[in-house]
Structure 1
Amino acid sequence: MKKATAYARVSTTEQSKTSIDGQLDTIRNFAKFNDIKIIEEFWDKESGGKMSRPNFDIMIENAFAGKYDLILVEKIDRFAREDIEATLLIKQLEDAGIFVMSVLEPADVTTPSGRFQRWIMLGFGKLEREIIADRTKRRMRDTAKRGYWMGGIPPYGYKTVEVKDNEGRIRKKLEIIEEEAKVIRKIFELHADGKGLSAIAEFLNNNNISTRKGKPWAKTTIYDLLKNKKYIGIYEYGKGTKRNHHSKNSKPLIIENVIPPIIDKELWEKSKKQFRTPVRISMIRNYLLRGKIFCAECGAPLVGNGGKKTMYVCSNWKSRKGDHYVGISKNKIEKHVFLYLKHLLIDNRPNFKQIANTFNYLYKTKKQSKNRKIEYIKNTLEEKYEQRKNIINAIKKGVMIETLTQEAKQIEREIKELNLQLEKLMQNVYFEITEEELEHRWNNLTEMILSDDEDTLKELYDLLIEKIEVASDGYIKIIDKDIL
């Protein structure tokens, strides 16, 4: 039998229309008919602000503590006054295995707050991780601005030395290794004089000048070195990644005069002029919806089809596995999807303050529940430790050795399980989210839709669109993702 709590609410302005007793009676009848056991009942008379419901707060905390399987309300607006608030709370409760059920409404209690706002709300887990990552990146960027080395192997010509920052913490900065710096200057001078990468590598190897690892120089190593702006005192933080420093970031943090330069800018510019950028003419078309667009008739992917008019066509038809033709102009469908997302992003701006307030209320409740559980487990552990101590003392005295030994093993198992529960709880970190952080995430998406860069648009489509179906009559169905 499912365990449930019943919740009723009225405001001071509507008590004549809806009574607490009436709501609870409706809920009780529903529970009785559906074999649901109500173990607690809560109600509030609300006259103040949105979050001034003391009994509601207790109920939510008990729910996260695992006391109920269901929260029963007469209508979903009794649970929460705002669509956004209701959707957020319901989603978080469902993630914890507690379901909110409206006894007078259909089973789907998802409120009509708009698909795009739902993306934000239901995708909070991902949003939460991204915000934590953003905060970490901001702290690291602030540290990089001060010229501190942010980790990794220093480039050839430099070593790290420890220094103290203004707060007394140990940091690292780059310092020139003069013997290696002489090699760096020679490499740039040779390149500025017109020597190619292979010729420079050959010169170094013939003169028994090895890399830091004692290996011969390769032209790829020379190329990377000649492109490294640290040698003119410029620190580009966030340009690449730890796994791939060649990856490109369009907005790295550029900090000048925080690294001691090995060469001057005049020599850098002379070397730079020796690089020739080849002109490449690419006939490869970028199909932005590849992997997202499907045939509504057979379910096969639509694939690119070149020619005078570029199209997306059914892959089964193209490979002659089907006798139906489904195709659509590349320009037409990509423009349609672009305008669809642009409308959602530009015209459906949510109330960031309301969302932030609801999240923070929810996580405050979760944190309180977590702290209560931790306190309970710690108290229980103290009792178990004391029991173990007493048993050990009894065993030493030879009292009922076999029985006490079994009891001691059981207590050890319980202690181990309690410690595992405590460790798991301690890993759950709750933090507050700000209105500004939510708006920042939203603005990033709007910047992406306004971008002229095709790779950026493809990234946005992958982020927001689950799939697109095209029918033989030209009908287009866009299925959004539930999370951002």
Structure 2
Amino acid sequence: MRTPRPPQVRCAVYTRKSSEEGLEQSFNSLDAQREACSAYILSQASDGWCEVADKYDDGGLSGGTLERPALQRLLGDVAAGRVDIIVVYKVDRLTRSLLDFARLVEAFDTAGTSFVSVTQSFNTTTSMGRLTLNMLLSFAQFEREVTAERIRDKIAASKARGMWMGGISPLGYEPDGRSLKIVDNHAAITRTVFTRYLELGNVRRLAESLERDGVLSPARTTRSGKTIGGVPFTRGQLYLMLKCRTFLGEIAHKDQVYPGLHDAIIERGTWDAVQAMLAANLQGSREGQRGSEPSLLAGKLTDDAGVPLVATHAVARGRRYRYYTSQALQTGTGDQGLRIPAREIETVVTHAVAKFVADPLQLANDAHIAIPADDYARLTRRAEELSVRLKRREWGITRQLVAGVRVERGRISVGMSTGELAAALDVALIAAVPATVTISSDVRLTRSGRAMRLIHTSAAQPPAEVNPSLVRLLAEAHRYWRELRKGEQNVTELAQAAGVSPAYLTRVLRLAFLSPTIDDAILSGRQRAGLDVQTLTAADAVPPSWQEQASSFL
């Protein structure tokens, strides 16, 4: 009587090595692991074990992550039911993380697959076996973390001594052992970037100037053989260069800066001037201004073609002006698009949403809100409170309610989240309602310089909003005129005393002769939408005729 053959058990051998050292040898660590595992599988042939043909080898990859090509391929085969047992030399070849191990065991259990460690005997199908395995993995993870801490401490100590600890060297240097050596022709480009930024005062104009003059990022080959450079500088690259302390002959590590072993490319005076200019362009004239006036519609605004408008800002004479700009204009890849003053469109959107919320019956109908007969009074009260919060420009609630804004030719469409509306009003929605409800505000776009202004075409105007900058500008104009009338100073002397240029002071002086109607409109917030300091102080912006001024500014 013949003994029945045991069922076939398909075994996959998985091998891993953390470093690439020695992998080029004809018989390396991966081969040794696979040979031991294959011998173990062969010893279990009487139980039907047989090795699959596919090889799963990860060389030079850490066990602290599951993002390994061979491991991911193995997991795919496990999920497809092509593997019954995974054989490894040691458990830490599979993973060194307890969290990753739990994920692997869950995947194995789902597919009905188990695994065997050749040098560590335990059974993962029993609770004791899992406990033993967890203990082994805990020590493996501890070893990995201790090793990582030791490496981090070594890097910190080496940088404190001014050593270069690897990575892509900044433009103008090349690695020289544990230091950097200056590459003269590349260093000349770095110096050009710093000096030209001080001349232009703007990273966008700097990038355009370098590309126009044919100054490219030099082509370089890293130690890994990757080629970088050979293309125009991007603004991101230029920002990183202008802030890189390595050019000062220093080594930075986290928040600490140490004297480096390498020579400096940029002088301290030039560096300090560049940092001061970067800080001024970033912050404007008042500290914390960015946080006090955020871009309300960032990530929510598109043009009529669905192309996103990017939140940007410009700094002029110490003041910060915010815009929403088409990507083509922002990146310089085109000259067509929108550039809308942020405060204008935010006011239009906020007013439209507040008006919509203030009418509880229209709100309930359009947003598909269920109103019990005895709950109307509460809804009315909640709607009034929400409308008041919106008019106060509470940033959080507006961002929460507005799902998206689309700038079209004759109107602005605001998509509001019905779910967020219901939550803010503490009411229920009718079943199967749309995710958003769209409201519109009738406006037309008119161009003023590079910017597109929003002009209301309906009688429904947003409430008057006094522009403090315009009021201060009018006060300055009348003060300058009073000083000149005294006859003690001329324009040049007055400009020097005020800390402005004579040309700017002259343009401001013109505002002392604005029509009284326009003065009243500015003081009461009834000027034309989009009228700002830049518009009024631009060259030839103020016509001498009061009638022409009214056409331009009201």
Fold shared by both chains (TM-score > 0.5): no
Bigger radius of gyration, 1 or 2? 2
| TM-score normalised according to structure 2 size | 0.26
What TM-score does the superposition give when structure 1 sets the normalisation length? 0.30
